[in-house]
Amino acid sequence: MYELLQDLLIKSAKQNPDRIAVRYKSKEISYGELDKISNQLAWVLIQNGVRRGDRIGIYLDKSIDSIISIFGILKAGAVYVPLDPVSPPIRLAYIIKDCSIQYLITSSNKIPRIRQMFLEGMLMKCIVNLGEMRPDTRPPLNSVKFISRHEVLTAPSSFKIKPKIKNTDLAYILYTSGSTGRPKGIMITHKSSLAFINWAYRCFGLTREDRASNHAPLHFDLSIFDIFVTIKASATMCMVPQGTSAFPHSLAEFIEREEITVWYSVPSTLIQLVLYGDLKNKDLSSLRLVLFAGEVFPSKHLRKLITMIPHAQFYNLYGPTETNVCTYYLVESMPSDNKPVPIGRSCDNLETFAIDEENNLIKPGSIGELYVSGPTLMNGYWNTPDKTREALVKLPLYSKQNKITYRTGDLVTIDECGNYIFVGRQDNMIKSRGYRIELEEIESILYIHPEVEESAVVAVPNEETGNKIKAVIVPRRSNSLSSEKIKNFCLRRLPQYMVPEIIEFRDWLPKTSTGKVDRQKLIM
């Protein structure tokens, strides 16, 4: 049996050493090479002091090297933490300090930003530069050990690395927007990740003939399916080149050229394909499976996509990063009205239920909060036991064995066939282009600005992107603030997808009778 995530690669490399594991642009790597180079990286990491459970940052643009890094880190018995390559250095330095990352795998084009992260008080023992060395990429600090690509590629590879780790150890930490104004780290163990991977492998029947896309960035949990289910199947993962999503035409060509059989992304990317990808003139006959997750897929666009790719199966997958995928729905017929397709039923390896405000299981027509329990659940949030206690609760009444249950905060209803339908959120978390965003995190950044007296951030529904973020600001002194200043202030502290697109200044914020900001009035 597979005990650890890296065993998936080791086994596939033994059985299919010459098959291609990963493709990126014109480069590719076979299973044998991926296994070998990740061994070398693991050896280098261990030689330089990496121990079981150490967190190691991956600060790389999407590339074959980022997949080598993931397996190298796992084989060293450590925990990988993927860092958003275009996030501002202030935010990344916070994440690095938060989970005390002391080893970073990166490439030369990131060195200027790493220098800035040191200015933010980041500490680092060792930096592995997998990129080409250039004269301007000397070590950012003398006290930091600098390891080159050459050192990795000349390290021993054919030895048995057996770090003493268990499958209940952490495999990765994925940081997501946090309502307290700081990103929070979701901790996932080998065991819980494998529970999801094994389910998905069975459910979607991947074989070594498949060519699966990798569209999501690595800090986004959709990538877990792309990487590990593909590698378990000895199939080929084709990474979508960075930036391609802005060019629906190029994205459609990518699917055609790479002969993708399994596609997985957020709906907003697929909507761009429907609207601007010129799919009528593309040969997408290779596609057998289109999976989407992360946000609601507006029915009119989904209907059109299905008519354009009639031979493929379409699945709506649902699950917060905290639970991996927990419900799924095969789209066989579209609802006749413009209602969204259901998020479906529980995956067979876990249990889900929804209860209303009076603690009753919901019936068709009523609305309740969705709870999940089972082996795919996270271990908690890094370093924030109080947040973990709020999210992971015991619900003896409805869970069979007094199991730990995750409160999703998602409101759902149920149809006559037992399929859940997503209705909305209980809090201020929103999705924009599939990214999960806590509006309070943006508000708390705005409150740091000395000239902001009061602020409220709301989501304005948008058909192509899900939501547009709008900030309404009451300035302290009315004439010195501008929306450029606010955008720039946010850009230095938040990832681009969280920077408000609309900024409005007002003299006061509308309040409800209880004195809370009336967000509904701000959306209009």
Cβ distance to other proteins smaller for residue 295 or 351:
295
- List the interface residues with other proteins, window 324-353 (CB under 8 A): none
Q: ∠ CA 258-259-265 to the nearest 5 degrees?
A: 80
Cβ distance to other proteins smaller for residue 357 or 484:
484
Cβ distance to other proteins smaller for residue 100 or 488:
488
| Least separation in angstroms between CB 173 and other proteins | 21
Cβ distance to other proteins smaller for residue 148 or 244:
244
| Least separation in angstroms between CB 308 and other proteins | 14
Binding mask 390-419 for other proteins (x = CB under 8 A): ------------------------------
**Binding test (CB under 8 A) with other proteins, winner from 191, 431, 433, 470:** 433
487 binds other proteins (CB under 8 A): yes
| Least separation in angstroms between CB 276 and other proteins | 4
| Least separation in angstroms between CB 467 and other proteins | 13
* CB 292, CB 265: distance < 8 Å: yes
* CB 213, CB 260: distance < 8 Å: yes
Cβ distance to other proteins smaller for residue 159 or 276:
276
112 binds other proteins (CB under 8 A): yes
272 binds other proteins (CB under 8 A): yes
What residue type is assigned to position 81 of the chain? V
- Burial grade of 518 (CB within 10 A; 0-12, 13-18, 19 or more): middle
From 70-78, 244-252, 389-397, 437-445, give the range in contact with other proteins by CB under 8 A: 244-252
Q: ∠ CA 325-329-334 to the nearest 5 degrees?
A: 145
Cβ distance to other proteins smaller for residue 113 or 211:
113
118 binds other proteins (CB under 8 A): no
**Binding test (CB under 8 A) with other proteins, winner from 244, 286, 419, 462:** 244
* CB 213, CB 262: distance < 8 Å: yes
113 binds other proteins (CB under 8 A): yes
Classified as helix, coil or strand, 474 is: strand
3-state secondary structure 252-275: HHHHHHCCCCEEEECHHHHHHHHH
The total of other beta-carbon atoms located within 10 Å of residue 311's CB is: 9
Residue spans of alpha helices (H) in 242-384: 248-257, 267-276, 299-308
308 binds other proteins (CB under 8 A): no
Cβ distance to other proteins smaller for residue 123 or 275:
275
88 binds other proteins (CB under 8 A): yes
248 binds other proteins (CB under 8 A): yes
| Least separation in angstroms between CB 272 and other proteins | 7
From 70-78, 190-198, 238-246, 468-476, give the range in contact with other proteins by CB under 8 A: 238-246
382 binds other proteins (CB under 8 A): no
- C-alpha R_g of the chain: 23
d(CA 360, CA 248): 45
| Least separation in angstroms between CB 90 and other proteins | 8
What residue type is assigned to position 266 of the chain? V
d(CA 194, CA 192): 5
- Burial grade of 385 (CB within 10 A; 0-12, 13-18, 19 or more): exposed
85 binds other proteins (CB under 8 A): yes
Classified as helix, coil or strand, 318 is: strand
From 31-39, 48-56, 104-112, 258-266, give the range in contact with other proteins by CB under 8 A: 104-112
Side-chain-side CA neighbours of 350 within 13 Å: the count stands at 29
Measuring CA to CA, how many Å separate 350 from each of 104, 319, 377, 408, 415?
35, 12, 9, 14, 20
245: its two tokens: 């999503």
Cβ distance to other proteins smaller for residue 4 or 274:
274
**Binding test (CB under 8 A) with other proteins, winner from 337, 357, 484, 507:** 484
275 binds other proteins (CB under 8 A): yes
**Binding test (CB under 8 A) with other proteins, winner from 250, 286, 388, 419:** 250
89 binds other proteins (CB under 8 A): yes
Q: Which of 293, 433, 67 is nearest to 82 (CA)?
A: 67
- List the interface residues with other proteins, window 495-524 (CB under 8 A): 496-497
> In 73-125, at which residue ranges do the beta strands (DSSP E only) sit?
79-82, 103-106
462 binds other proteins (CB under 8 A): no
* CB 457, CB 469: distance < 8 Å: yes
- List the interface residues with other proteins, window 46-65 (CB under 8 A): 61
# residues contacting other proteins (CB under 8 A): 36
d(CA 328, CA 204): 11
Q: Which of 416, 353, 406, 396 is nearest to 375 (CA)?
A: 406
From 75-83, 193-201, 249-257, 411-419, give the range in contact with other proteins by CB under 8 A: 249-257
110 binds other proteins (CB under 8 A): yes
90 binds other proteins (CB under 8 A): yes
d(CA 499, CA 91): 13
Say how far residue 348 (Cα) sits from the centre of its chain.
Answer: 23
Contact residues for other proteins (CB under 8 A)? Answer: 61, 85-86, 88-90, 109-110, 112-113, 116, 241-250, 253, 272, 275-278, 433, 484, 487-488, 491-493, 496-497
